[in-house]
Each structure stands twice: as C-alpha cells, then as structure tokens.
Structure 1
Amino acid sequence: MIIIGGGPIGLFSAFYAGLRDMKTLLIDAQDELGGQLVTLYPEKTVYDVGGIPGIQAYELAQRLVEQAKMFGPEIRVNEWADWIERTNDNMWIVKTDKGSYKAKTVLIAAGIGRITPSRLGAKGEIEYENKGVYYTVRRKKDFEGKKVLIVGGGDSAVDWALTLAPIAKSVTLIHRRDQFRAHERSVKELFRVANVYVWHELKEVKGDGNRITQAIIFDNRTKEEKVLDVDAVIISIGYKGDLGNIPKWGLNMKGRDIIVNGKMETNLPGVYAAGDIAQQVDSPKLALIAVGFAQAAIAVSVAKKYIEPNASLFAGHSSEMDKFKSK
C-alpha cells in the first residue's frame, strides 16, 4: 500500500497496514511528519483522542510517528504526490516530484493538502523566514526572553500572544483593523498582557543577515511608521491547503472532499481515502482525529482483503500484538 499523507491519519494507517502484514510506503509533502499537528498548532492541547485526557499536539505527532514505524514502513518526506495512474496489471503507480512508485493499493490521507502559510509579502519576510520570521509556534521555549511581534487578529494570533506573554520579554500584536475575529474574552486579556496596535500592518523586517533585529510597522490610515526592536515576528494570518493535482486524478469529489462509501472505497478500484479529505456517503462529516483513526482501520482492512481475497476482513484485536509481531 502507498499512503499519501503523513498527518495523524496517514501515520495511523501506516501502523495499521503493518499490523495487517502489508508492505507500506508513506509519502508526505511536508518536511516533518505530523500534518496539522506540527504545522498549525504544535503547542496546543488535543483533547479528543480516546484514552488521553489531554496531550500537546506535537507530542501526539511524535507518538504517532513512533507507532507508525513499528513495522518498518518506507517513509518519504518533503515529497509531493503529483499523479496516480492504473497499469495494465491492475496496479497503481504514484508519481511524485522525485520518482515513481508501484503498489496494489493507494490510501489517500492528505488532510487539507500540502499546508503553506499565508504570507504578507512584506520586505525582508522571505529573506528572514526561519531566521526570526515564523508562521506558527512549534516550541514555546524558542521565544523565552525574546521581544516578539505577532501579526494577525484571529484566534490563533491572539492565542499565541496570550501563550507567549508570560515567557517572552515583550509581546506586541498588530492588526490591520480594530475588530478581532478572536474570542471576546481572549481579546480583553490580550490588551492586558501585550502591546496592541490596531489599524497597523507590517511593512518590513530588518536584520544582520542571520537574524532579524527590527520590524517597521505602519498605520494604514495615516501611513505613519514605527520602528520596533524585535527578536521574532510571528505572522499568524492563516494557512492554505493545496491539494495539487488530486482533483484531476479521476476521483469522485465534492468540493475538496473525496467521496467514499462505508468501506472508505473511492470510485477507483484499490484506491481509498480517510481523514479530513474523505466524505462518506450518507454520513455526517466530523473532522476529528478520532473519526479518522476509525476510517483508517476500515480502509486498510478492506484494502487487505482487496489484495488477498482469502484474508479476513477483521484480523483480531491489537491487544494480541505479540501474535502480529511474531509473524
């Protein structure tokens, strides 16, 4: 099986495919496995995973990676699945920007697609990306004792300001309007713990070539500029999910969702989908990790029987793990 997507559902699929004694290749477009857990909210707490009252998203991602590797799947990161095509012997070829791979089944667990941050286009922004300019907070400790500027007015921007205020030297937030999309209580607290400039935007970031040292902001009504000494700029204005050529693969889709039946089968034989990218017919869509885990188990089990018609659809409980490991 080739699994497209290295987020929580793709990772769990790799584990479950190994549990079913399937040779597995996992391909992910990001440079780090974990999907939205590590790209969008690594420091947030996830509460909707069964048996875990609460866990930091980044830690959950690392546990899923560890679990996914239990049966030795081949894993390729920073590789973009561009095309799939069926061969004359009823196999599937997945073409990426780095090569081609052949398998009997394909599981698409691409979530919202390749995640890219929305950029402002401010002068110096690209030059200092990951040298002081960031689009999310992967580790809070990286901002301890630093002068931080946050750009944005939504929940994410305000939440990061509140999260970093106790550990940073200073936190300043600028927003291009005077109305925030964040929760009212959070906004009220924001004005108490951070320096806030409404009607302000980022014009330029400056530095010594290795790290940023200043940010130039301006009032978008008067064009008056201010120079701020900063160690870090967090641009929190959203992310975009890029599905690439997936809509051209011949799959039945509705909007950004791949239509699947109760077996997680797409209209293409041997191709399955699970997680945020999948929409089951006659079933409500719940974009929850817990739901995606169940979909992954179903998809892999059905794929196993597709490959080996005499195989059991349900091979037993994972509590019998020693039996599987000894195979």
Structure 2
Amino acid sequence: MSNEDYYDITVVGGGPVGLFAATYACMRQAKTQIIESLDKLGGQVTNLFPAKKIYDIPAFSSIKGNALINELVQQVQQFAPQIFLNEKVQEISKTASGFKLVTNLRTTYSRTIIIATGVGAFQPRKLALPNANSFENQQLLYSISDPQKFANKDVMIAGGGDSAVDWALELAPFAKTLHIVHRRSKFRALEANVARLHETQTIFDTPYLITDLQKGADTKIKVTLKKVKEDSTTQLRADYLLVNYGFVTDTKILQDWNLETQHNLLQVSPNMQTSTPGIYAAGDIIDYAGRVNLIATGFGEAPIAVNSAMHYLNPDLRQPAHSTQLIKKFPKIK
C-alpha cells in the first residue's frame, strides 16, 4: 500500500463539527474523506431537531438546524472531499504509513484520523409508560420536522432542558394552547430562554410527572399528570404531546478502536490528540476540564485537531496564522 492510496485525514462523523473539520482540512490542502454512519449528513441536528432554532452559533441571532447543516454542506462541497454515507467504522488498526479503517462496506487507509462522532449512536429517550408506543408518530412525538404542523393545536411539551424550552419558544407564537410539563419547579435550560418563555402564554405544569396516556373521544390524547411527592392528579387533553427527555447514546464502538475513554468520552490532550498518536477528536465525543457542550465549542476544536494532524504528518510545516493564508486561491462560490 503506497502513500498515494492513503487519505491524509479521515473525518469519522458527518455532523456539524465533522463537516467543519473536513472543510478546514481541505483548506489545509489535505486529501480528505468523511465517513458517516447515517444516510445523510448533519448528525443529531438533522435527525433530532432539524426545524428547531439554534441560538449559540456566532454571527447568527438564530438559525434553524436544517439551515445550519445546509450552510455547512455547501461550505465543505466547495472543496469536494470524498463523502461516504451509510458506513460504520468497525475496526481501526495501525499500519506502517498510518491506519487501516474497516467499515461495513469497504477497507480504506488514512495517515491520520479525526473522530467527530458526537455522542455516538443515539435515539430519543422515550416516555416510560407501557402503552406509550401505541401513540408514537401520531399524538406522541420525539422530534419535529415541521413546526407549522402545530399551528392552532393544543400542544403539551414534556421536559426541562434546553430542547424542551427551545421547542416551547418556537411553538408558543402559533399553538392554540401550550403546556410545558417538568418534574421539577426549576428548569435546566438557559435562564434567559426560561425567562422569555414565562413572557408567553405558555402554561407551566410543575412539578408534575406524566403517569398515564389514554385516547380521548376525538383525535386528542388524554394525559394524566401526578404532582411530585403528592397523590393529587390532573388530566389534560392535547392534540400533540412532544417529549424532550434527551437521548440515549452508545459509544461502545470506541472500545473496539482501543482508545482511552472516561465516562464513555474520549480523553484528549490540548492539541486534541487521543491516546493514540495520529488519531485526534473534536466535538461532544471528547472531554477535558471546563469543556462546554456547544456546537460552537466543537467548531473551535476542529481546526486545532486538523492543524495537529497536519503537524503530525509534516513536523516542519509552518502552522497558518489566518484562514485566508491557508490556500493560494479560494474556489469561486457559485
């Protein structure tokens, strides 16, 4: 296997951080490929909250998830890296010139690797009631693709984190009625957003737990709420119940790659290197003291990982000072 058959950088993961890592790698003129296990780019943003507004991206007062991914895809496509979808990296092993990656579809080679898989495989944390699955994808939803579906509808949102509050802010202007149910009186979401939500007509049902779901006489769902530490209950009817309890993740594949983890997250050095020289990581899959789980944080980590990978490949190569110095001529954007 010659060096010509190796990619310089393989980005594992096609979410926001992976896309920007590939863009920056191409700006460094590295031969780059992206390997994504899902059938489309965008990671959690595409699959869990494509229509939700995101407020923590610099330069955007807010931007919807699908719009952010569209911009990132357009950005990376300027440089035409190889993109492989529906591929899962099953094995990573060291070779004389870098690494061999075995996926479910092929074997490929790379001189360095950047892991940007986010939280790994994920699925929404579901409502733990025996009959909940009989309402799924009808009155009970775990994600939203079209907010207008809820116009003039009675909507109930369950959850106390950022996703639940963000969805409530998104739907409050046009829902007929909007309830938010949380098991605690205090929300975990960003304080400014909770304050904004209190300024709307949203009804706060706290501290309550959802204990039962039943079909109503019409197409509505009948939801029983029990007050925490009390026996009192109340029933509400809604056209839709949107549950935002976070998601269940699986990062077991990292163990198969023989990388050091702690609490199922990759441990990295300040230059984003994992326990294996030549393998770097960025985004929510990594952990270090003081890290904040924001997309913007991952955007900052991606160039560090790329520059570290380039230095690993060419120790004598001068590190760039500014992005406009990376390549001699930027391609025209059509």
Say whether the fold is shared (TM-score over 0.5). yes
How many pairs does the alignment contain?
314
Question: Does the alignment pair 1:213 with 2:219?
Answer: yes
Question: Does the alignment pair 1:117 with 2:124?
Answer: yes
SS of aligned partner of 2:276: coil
Question: Does the alignment pair 1:64 with 2:72?
Answer: yes
1:274-314: CA deviation from partner (whole Å, max 9, x where unpaired) = 2233346xx64344444433332222223234345665443
**Corresponding position of 1:43:** 52
1:247-271: CA deviation from partner (whole Å, max 9, x where unpaired) = 4422233333323333322231321
Matching residue within 293, 300, 309 for 1:294 = 300
Q: 1:229 to 1:324 in 2, by over 3 A?
A: closer
Question: Does the alignment pair 1:304 with 2:314?
Answer: no
Cα distance in structure 2, aligned partners of 1:57 and 1:148: 21
Cα distance in structure 2, aligned partners of 1:225 and 1:29: 43
Cα distance in structure 1, aligned partners of 2:106 and 2:283: 25
8 Å CA contact 2:51, 2:147 repeated in 1 = no
Query: What is the RMSD of the two structures over their aligned residues, measured on CA atoms?
Result: 3.6
8 Å CA contact 2:158, 2:243 repeated in 1 = yes
**Corresponding position of 1:143:** 150
Residues 31-180 of structure 1 aligned to structure 2 (within 5 Å): 31-38=39-46, 39=48, 42-49=51-58, 52-58=59-65, 59-87=67-95, 89-122=96-129, 125-126=132-133, 129-175=136-182, 177=183, 179-180=185-186
Cα distance in structure 2, aligned partners of 1:53 and 1:239: 26
8 Å CA contact 1:252, 1:266 repeated in 2 = yes
Q: 1:129 to 1:90 in 2, by over 3 A?
A: farther
Which structure 2 residue ranges, 5 or more long, are not aligned? 1-8
8 Å CA contact 2:56, 2:296 repeated in 1 = no
Displacement of 1:178: 6.3
Q: TM-score, normalised by structure 2?
A: 0.76
Question: Does the alignment pair 1:193 with 2:172?
Answer: no
Displacement of 1:170: 2.8
SS of aligned partner of 1:306: helix
- Comparing 5-14 with 221-230, which one deviates more in the overlay? 221-230
SS of aligned partner of 1:276: coil
Matching residue within 244, 256, 261 for 2:252 = 244
Displacement of 1:104: 1.8
Amino acid paired to 2:263: G
Question: Does the alignment pair 1:266 with 2:274?
Answer: yes
- Comparing 101-110 with 20-29, which one deviates more in the overlay? 20-29
8 Å CA contact 1:3, 1:108 repeated in 2 = yes
Which structure 1 residue ranges, 5 or more long, are not aligned? none
Matching residue within 196, 215, 237 for 1:228 = 237
